[in-house]
Each structure stands twice: as structure tokens, then as C-alpha cells.
């Protein structure tokens, strides 16, 4: 179907040609699904653009073979894309024209490529939208993109891509911009489309979990080269190339818990203007040995015994003839028994969690919606972003805060730091009330780390300036002592003194995030709010930052409020988890209690939506939510009632659910009796 061999791509830049792709080969059979994984900068998106013939001016492409069915892609890409090759990009908001009705945009390829009359094309568009699982497709077709939620938009984009019944679908991070529950809906849809239409897919993703769910083969890219290729189950359960192994070792997994430290891959991507003729992972590889500097070839690997990647059947009947495993490492088999080495000495014993540090009681915050951005579906003038939340954090404890976007997590974090004025509620730091405009005492002790490493540092300040400011402001050190303190802070986050003079644009994302953490720690706080602090980072870097945060917690006794939409990360680092939905905490408790039954139905849905590696058989037990977080909720009663798959009846809509104690410190706010909730299947483990 699709066959690419020896594809190389270079971009001309001022520093010289950047070798974005080098000798990439892959093949997808009719109806097959190939996953393409790798960290940012590995060349995934470049490959998609090359296949579509959408490369810019400065790119030079060469390939031994680039075939789609019987056509040469280099010549025919312009004719094929949109007609026989459909594409779905990451950001559904950017893929739809905000000034045109959705139906017209779905209908357009039909008019363009199939020559349908507008009326017929529109009718077909409505049908397509319905096939994508959108309720009331005629109304959706009549709406403008801003009136739809993110998940609805992505369904419309997929409908557009499928309009001309393409034989191949290129999916470039199709669910990355979506919430995990919406992601699960989209993955279900894609899975169904494969089964019913036999459309082939190339799924580009940094998320190994969704590749594992959707694909039967996977290609691992590292810095423009294919380092490993093969059937997804065998490859992910027994990776051969050191990079693949490192990637898996660095991945926090919701089903593994947080007992051991993650093992990050040291170093960063090589300079692609001067590609290494030998193995280019060598500088970061813990197994590098003589012979690695020789050019490597992607060679068939001696298959490991099939029993290791055993799965319980294949419910969707998707597995076809398993492809050959290929690997770009001359020592891969020899190393199969050697474990990935731990970067440092095993962590010191964790000090016990101390007394209550921060308490919040009945915090509330409403936002007035501005004129233009009123959602069609929720024509209310106010949003209760945080609605009467009470929680407590002890010294040295990590409280994970999870929930879909829009559930009020970030708002709660800012309320706790008094960065936003609360409408109601009280905050106490070690028993002393925190006023609405707290003084430097509170500011020193409570700090924040943000998601976006690019935005959290002032672009016009050096690292030294950024770190000195809190020291001087809070009178922690001055003069030569402050200089020494800056060095100490940099050392704390494992950056050398050479970083002092750097500006943010001279550092990588991981380095910037370390500086942001160092700046937050400069005032020696007792409480750190981490608002999606590792979400923007690549897996290998994320692992290093997570380890750093854990180490700092143990050494300095800092308590974290760890806000994240990534259940895997929270399960790894948190001691307790609070699950938020529409401004309220629906479940709270110790991490192992929250991740196992009894669940709040929302927690269960959230957890079962998480794509896990090597757990394809979970698919049957999946609990799916309809709609998304913006679906309007009843004014009284349970805030989750309108989407709850386990709704009891009118009581859910009319009465606020009672908080029930499910175990020590484990509270679930649900009308259903605990015994019933406890009978729920385990959402992370396999169904019995």
C-alpha cells in the first residue's frame, strides 16, 4: 500500500543543512496500521509532510522508493492527498476554518475531488458526521467550529479526512490536544474505522500507549533514523534497541505505581547538521562500546521467544501477519539480558511525611464569561471554576490533582497561592490564616512551577538574574553569599555554573524547566505548586525532572501540589490523589486506594481511558463517558450526574452526593453505596 525506502530529507538552515531524516524505510500493507514514535525533533512530522508532498522550499528530499499503491508519491502526492490519503493533524482548532460552517468544510473535499454537487456533498457530510459518532449531525454541520468542543472538532476533522474514502489515513498526534476521556473516544472511533472500512493508518505519536492500542506495527525514530521496527506487541514488551529500552524505562506508568525511580536517558539529541556516521545514539547510550562508531544498518533482529510478549487474544481481530523485527544496533541481542543501568545511587530513604502544612476550606471562585466567548451549549453567564473545595497538604507530601482540562485544577492551584482572589473560603498555613493579600512571609514559603518552560522565564533575564531576584527579595542572601547560593541552586537542579550567564533561548526545554524549579526553590519554600510542570517535556527529560522533584522533596521536605492531566505521572509521584470534576473534588485518598476499586464513577472512567502499554485486553472493560467536561451540569445535585454512566436516578440530579469514607483518608462523593462501587472492575489491570 504505502512503501517508503531510503527516504532522506534535509532542511537548509543558516548553520548548514539539517539532516531531518536519514534513510527512513517503512511499509504499510492495505488495512494495516503503523505507529511512528519518537521524541520531539526525531523527524516524525517531517516524514508526514514528506509523504504528503507538503515540504517547504528549503527542503531537499531524496528516496530510493516512495510508492503509494501503484503511484510514485513524489509525483502524485498533490493528486492523492485529500482524495486517497487523508490527514488529521494535532490541533483540531487550527485544522478547521473558524469562519466556515463545519458541514461545508467536511463537504469540500467531496466537491473538490469527487465533483459532487454542493447539496449532495452537504448531505453526505451530515452522514459522515453521524458516522463519526457525533450526536445530532445536522446541527453540527450547521455550526461554526467555535461552537464545538475539542473532541467534536477532532471528529469533524476526521470526517473531513475520511470524506473521499481514502485508503490511507495519516494521523499526526491526533489526540495530543485532547483530554484523556475524549482521547479514548477518538481512539475507539479510529479503531472502529479500521475494522469497518479497512483504512490503513500511519499514527504519529509520542504516546506509546495509544500506538499500542491502535497499531500492529511500530517504527521508532531517533534523530531522523529508524532505530527499531517491528510488531508493536513484541517490540514494546521486549525492546531491543537501547533507545527504545531507554524510552520505556523513562515512562511513568499508571499501572506500576511510584515505587522506583524512573530511569531517564542522559544527554540530548545530536546535532543534525553534522550527523554521526556511526550509531548516533552512542553519546547517550549506556551500552556504548567499541564498534558503535561504525555505520549501523537496520538489520533483521533475531526474534526473541514469542512467549514474552504474550497477550490475551486479539478481540478486534486486528493482528495480521507479524512483520519482521529490525533494529539499528549491532549489539542489540547481546544486550538483551543486561538491565538499563540506574543513573545514580539508589535514592536515600524518604523522610516521613510531617504534620499539616496547608489547609484550604471551602475555596470557591467564579468567572464571569465575557460576551463573545459564550458557549452555545452552556448559555450561562458564570462558570464556577472552583466550587467549595477543601483539602489539606502535609509537610513533604505530594498531593496529585487530576481531572480533565476545565475541571478547575489550575484555578485551585492559583487560589491556594493567593494569586487569584478567592470568592469564598479560607486558607491556613500551619494553622495561621493566610490573608487575601499575603505578605512576604507566605510568598517565601509557597512557590509555583509552571507548565510551559518557554513562558516561565523572562526572556530578557539571565539565569543568574532570575535566581538572584528571589534571594534578594526575601533577604535570604546578598553579595557574595547570594552568588554562592546561585551556584548551589544550579547544582541542586543539576546544572553547572556555566548556566549562570545564559538566556532562556540558549537552553533546552528541560534545562529551562530546571531553572524554573531552581527559581521556585530559591526562597526555600515549604510548598510548591507544580502546575503541569512536566507535561511539556519529552519522556526522557520528563523522567529526569520527575526524579529531581522527588529528590528535592526527600532532601528538603517540600510538599507538592502536583497538578497534572497525566495519570501515569501522578500515579508515579503522588502520595495522595484528589480527582477534580467541574470545580469540585469527587474523590480523594491515598494513591493506591484511588487507583483501585471502590472508585467514584468519574475516577473509574478517567483511569480506564488511560492508554496503557501491554494491556490491550483492558479494552473490553473500558468505561466510556459521553460528551466532555463542557457539557452542562445540573445546578444542584451531583456535578457529574449528566455524564455519569452509573447514574441512579433523579436523586443524582437533585441532591448533592454525600462524602463517604471508603477507607482511611479515602473519600468518595457519590450516591451509590460503597459496596456497589467496590464491585467495579480494576480500571488499570486486566479484567479477570
Partner 1 sequence: MSAALSAPGRRLPRSLLLGLVVLGLVLLLAALGPFLAPYDPDAFNMRARLRPPSAAHWFGTDEFGRDVFSRVLAGAHHSLLMGFGATAISLAIGVPLGLIAAFRRGLVEEAIMRGVDLLISLPPVLLGLLILAVTEPGLGKTILAVGLVYVPIMTRIARAVALDLLAEEFVEAARARGEGAFHILAREILPNAWPPLIVETALRVTFAILLGSALSFLGLGPQPPASEWGLMIAESRPFISEAPWIGLAPGLCLCLLLIAVNVVGEGLRDLLDPRLKGRGH
For partner 1, the binding residues (CB under 8 A) are 414, 417, 419, 438-440, 443, 446-448, 450-452, 454-461, 469-470, 473-474, 503, 505, 516, 519-520, 523
Nearer to partner 1, 532 or 538 (CB): 532
CB of 536 to partner 1, least distance (A): 11
Give CA–CA dist 125/104, Å, rounded: 8
Task: Name residue, grid cell 501491554.
Answer: 614
Find out whether 670 and 638 touch, Cβ atoms under 8 Å: yes
Give CA–CA dist 120/111, Å, rounded: 9
174 CB neighbour count, 10 Å cutoff: 29
Listed in sequence order, the residues at least 6 apart from 265 whose beta carbon sits closer than 8 Å to its beta carbon are: 243, 246, 247, 250, 284, 540, 543
**Residue 231: closest CA among 335, 295, 314:** 314
CB of 444 to partner 1, least distance (A): 8
Q: What percent of the chain is helix, strand and coil (3-state, nearest 5)?
A: 35, 20, 45
Task: Tell me the Cα Rg of the chain.
Answer: 26
Give CA–CA dist 356/440, Å, rounded: 21
Find out whether 176 and 184 touch, Cβ atoms under 8 Å: no
Give CA–CA dist 60/44, Å, rounded: 16
CB of 441 to partner 1, least distance (A): 9
Counting Cα atoms < 13 Å in the Cβ hemisphere of 49 gives 17
CB of 505 to partner 1, least distance (A): 5
CB of 524 to partner 1, least distance (A): 13
Three-class HEC string of 511-572:
HHHHHHHHHHHCCCCCEEEEECCCCCCCHHHHHHHHHHHHHHHHHHCCEEEEECCCHHHHHH
Nearer to partner 1, 292 or 528 (CB): 528
Q: Pairing between strand 527-531 and 559-563?
A: parallel
Give CA–CA dist 420/366, Å, rounded: 11
Cell triple for residue 323? 512483520
Nearer to partner 1, 67 or 469 (CB): 469
Verify cis geometry, omega within 30 degrees of 0, for the bond prior to 657. Answer: no
CB of 492 to partner 1, least distance (A): 17
Nearer to partner 1, 111 or 556 (CB): 556
CB of 405 to partner 1, least distance (A): 17
Nearer to partner 1, 465 or 631 (CB): 465
CB of 449 to partner 1, least distance (A): 9
Nearer to partner 1, 16 or 266 (CB): 16
What does residue 505 show for φ and ψ, rounded to 5 degrees?
A: -70, -5
Nearer to partner 1, 26 or 471 (CB): 471
Dihedral, CA of residue 215, residue 253, residue 264 and residue 528, to nearest 10: 130
Nearer to partner 1, 244 or 410 (CB): 410
**Residue 390: closest CA among 425, 341, 442, 437:** 425
Nearer to partner 1, 407 or 523 (CB): 523
CB of 237 to partner 1, least distance (A): 39
The helix or strand, by DSSP H or E, that contains position 414, with its residue range, turns out to be: helix 409-416
What does residue 137 show for φ and ψ, rounded to 5 degrees?
A: -60, -30
Find out whether 202 and 219 touch, Cβ atoms under 8 Å: no
Nearer to partner 1, 536 or 625 (CB): 536
182 CB neighbour count, 10 Å cutoff: 24
Give CA–CA dist 688/253, Å, rounded: 20
**Residue 133: closest CA among 178, 194, 176, 185:** 185
CB of 628 to partner 1, least distance (A): 25
CB of 58 to partner 1, least distance (A): 16
CB of 458 to partner 1, least distance (A): 4
Give CA–CA dist 122/107, Å, rounded: 5
CB of 313 to partner 1, least distance (A): 47
Burial class (CB within 10 angstroms; exposed 0-12, middle 13-18, buried 19+) of 20: buried
**Residue 202: closest CA among 7, 32, 9, 79:** 32
CB of 634 to partner 1, least distance (A): 33
- Helical pair 242-249 and 539-556, crossing angle rounded to 10 deg: 40
Nearer to partner 1, 102 or 515 (CB): 515
Nearer to partner 1, 513 or 547 (CB): 513
List the beta bridge partners of residue 203.
35, 171
CB of 504 to partner 1, least distance (A): 8
Nearer to partner 1, 34 or 417 (CB): 417
Cell triple for residue 129? 458526521
CB of 262 to partner 1, least distance (A): 25
Nearer to partner 1, 475 or 632 (CB): 475
CB of 473 to partner 1, least distance (A): 6
Amino acid at each position: 500500500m504505502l512503501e517508503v525506502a531510503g527516504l532522506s530529507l534535509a532542511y537548509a538552515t543558516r548553520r548548514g543543512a539539517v539532516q531531518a531524516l536519514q534513510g527512513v524505510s517503512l511499509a504499510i500493507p492495505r488495512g494495516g496500521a503503523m505507529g511512528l514514535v519518537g521524541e520531539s525533533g526525531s523527524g516524525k512530522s517531517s516524514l508526514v509532510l514528506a509523504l504528503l508532498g507538503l515540504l517547504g522550499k528549503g527542503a531537499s528530499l531524496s528516496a530510493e522508493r516512495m510508492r503509494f499503491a501503484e503511484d510514485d508519491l513524489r509525483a502524485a502526492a498533490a493528486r492523492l492527498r485529500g482524495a486517497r490519503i487523508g490527514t488529521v493533524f494535532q490541533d483540531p482548532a487550527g485544522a478547521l476554518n473558524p469562519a466556515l460552517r463545519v458541514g461545508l468544510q467536511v463537504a469540500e473535499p467531496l466537491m473538490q475531488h469527487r465533483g459532487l454537487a454542493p447539496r449532495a456533498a452537504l448531505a453526505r457530510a451530515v452522514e459522515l458526521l453521524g458516522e463519526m459518532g457525533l450526536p445530532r449531525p445536522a446541527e453540527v454541520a450547521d455550526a461554526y467550529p467555535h461552537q464545538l468542543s475539542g473532541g467534536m472538532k477532532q471528529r469533524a476533522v476526521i470526517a473531513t479526512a475520511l470524506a473521499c474514502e481514502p485508503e490511507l489515513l495519516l494521523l499526526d498526534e491526533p489526540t495530543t490536544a485532547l483530554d484523556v476521556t475524549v482521547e479514548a473516544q477518538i481512539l475507539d472511533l479510529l479503531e472502529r474505522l479500521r475494522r469497518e472500512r479497512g483504512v490503513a493508518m500511519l499514527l504519529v505519536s509520542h504516546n506509546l500507549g495509544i500506538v499500542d492500542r491502535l497499531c500492529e506495527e511500530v517504527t521508532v525514530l531517533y534523530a531522523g533514523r529508524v532505530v527499531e521496527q517491528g510488531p508493536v506487541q513484541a517490540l514494546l514488551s521486549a525492546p531491543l534497541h537501547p533507545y527504545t529500552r531507554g524510552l520505556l524505562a523513562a515512562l511513568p506508568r499508571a499501572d506500576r505505581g511510584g515505587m522506583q525511580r524512573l530511569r531517564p536517558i542522559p544527554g540530548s539529541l545530536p546535532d543534525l547538521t553534522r550527523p554521526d556516521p556511526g550509531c548516533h545514539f552512542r553519546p547517550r547510550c549506556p551500552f556504548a562500546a567499541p564498534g558503535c562508531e561504525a555505520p549501523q544498518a537496520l538489520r533483521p533482529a533475531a526474534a526473541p521467544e514469542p512467549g514474552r510478549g504474550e497477550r490475551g487474544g486479539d478481540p478486534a481481530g486486528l493482528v495480521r501477519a507479524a512483520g519482521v523485527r529490525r533494529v539499528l544496533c549491532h549489539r542489540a541481542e547481546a544486550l538483551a539480558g543486561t538491565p538499563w543501568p540506574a543513573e545514580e545511587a539508589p535514592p536515600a530513604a524518604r523522610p516521613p511525611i510531617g504534620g499539616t502544612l496547608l489547609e484550604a476550606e471551602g475555596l470557591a471562585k467564579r468567572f464571569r464569561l465575557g460576551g463573545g466567548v459564550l458557549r452555545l451549549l452552556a448559555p450561562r453567564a458564570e462558570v464556577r471554576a472552583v466550587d467549595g473545595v477543601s483539602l489539606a497538604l502535609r509537610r513533604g507530601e505530594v498531593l496529585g490533582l487530576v481531572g480533565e482540562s476545565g475541571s478547575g485544577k489550575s484555578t485551585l492551584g492559583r487560589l491556594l497561592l493567593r494569586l487569584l482572589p478567592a470568592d469564598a473560603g479560607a486558607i491556613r498555613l500551619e494553622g495561621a490564616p493566610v490573608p487575601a493579600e499575603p505578605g512576604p512571609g507566605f510568598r517565601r514559603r509557597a512557590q509555583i512551577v509552571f507548565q510551559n518552560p518557554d513562558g516561565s522565564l523572562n526572556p530578557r533575564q539571565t539565569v543568574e538574574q532570575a535566581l538572584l531576584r528571589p534571594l534578594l527579595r526575601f533577604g535570604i542572601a546578598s553579595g557574595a553569599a547570594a552568588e554562592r547560593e546561585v551556584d548551589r541552586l544550579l547544582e541542586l537542579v543539576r546544572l553547572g555554573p556555566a548556566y549562570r550567564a545564559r538566556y532562556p533561548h540558549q537552553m533546552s526545554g528541560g534545562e529551562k524547566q530546571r531553572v524554573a524549579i531552581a527559581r521556585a526553590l530559591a526562597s526555600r519554600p515549604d510548598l510548591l505548586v507544580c502546575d503541569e510542570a512536566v507535561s511539556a517535556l519529552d519522556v526522557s527529560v520528563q523522567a529526569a525532572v520527575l526524579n529531581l522533584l522527588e529528590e528535592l522533596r526527600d532532601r528538603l521536605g517540600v510538599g507538592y501540589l502536583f497538578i497534572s492531566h497525566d495519570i501515569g505521572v501522578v500515579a508515579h509521584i503522588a502520595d495522595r490523589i484528589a480527582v477534580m470534576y467541574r470545580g469540585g473534588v469527587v474523590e480523594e485518598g491515598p494513591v493506591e486506594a484511588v487507583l483501585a476499586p471502590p472508585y467514584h464513577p468519574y475516577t473509574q472512567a478517567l483511569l480506564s481511558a488511560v492508554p496503557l502499554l501491554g494491556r490491550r485486553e483492558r479494552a473490553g472493560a473500558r468505561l466510556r463517558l459521553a460528551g466532555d467536561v463542557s457539557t452542562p451540569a445540573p445546578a444542584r445535585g451531583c456535578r457529574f450526574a449528566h455524564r455519569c454512566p452509573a447514574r441512579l436516578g433523579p436523586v443524582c440530579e437533585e441532591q448533592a452526593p454525600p462524602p463517604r469514607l471508603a477507607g482511611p483518608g479515602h473519600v468518595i462523593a457519590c450516591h451509590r453505596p460503597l459496596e456497589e462501587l467496590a464491585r467495579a472492575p480494576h480500571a488499570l489491570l486486566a479484567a479477570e
